[in-house]
Amino acid sequence: MSDCLFCRIVAGEIPSTKVYEDDTVFAFRDIAPQAPTHILVIPKVHIPGCDGVTAENSALVAHIFEVIPAIARAEGLTGGYRVVSNCGPDAGQTVPHLHFHILGGKPLTLEMA
């Protein structure tokens, strides 16, 4: 989608600090980190959010969950980390492109996104 921020990041139209990329997945550092390590993992294809996950695209989400621990290992998050996906306005989703936050690098409070 040409007007989607994260689609434009995948396309290289908006700069990002990439930490991982393969054929279907892209990961980059959050511009406003809420923890020492804060990475966003997204499908390259536009899926609006968790509500957009279907039988047709759920294999991609499964792949993302294989990528996440690999990124966490590469980032040295040996003490653990949190994975968050906000879905919809009540959850605070601000970018309508499915994304998973990886948060870590210190003990996290429950208030943390």
Q: For binding to ligand AMP (CB under 6 A), which residues are involved? A: 5, 14, 16, 28, 30-32, 40, 86, 92-95
Annotation says 99 is catalytic = yes
Nearer to ligand AMP among residue 15 and residue 78 (C-beta): 15
Cα–Cα distance measured from residue 87 to residue 51, given in angstroms and rounded to the nearest whole number: 7
Alpha helices (H) along the chain = 5-10, 58-74
Per the listing, tokens 């980190």 go with: 33
| Smallest separation (angstroms) from ligand AMP to the CB of 107 | 20
| Smallest separation (angstroms) from ligand AMP to the CB of 73 | 22
Residues, the chain, total? 113
The DSSP bridge pattern shows strands 37-43 and 25-29 to be: antiparallel
| Smallest separation (angstroms) from ligand AMP to the CB of 33 | 8
Chain-centroid distance of CA 71 in Å reads 11
Nearer to ligand AMP among residue 55 and residue 110 (C-beta): 110
Active site residues: 99
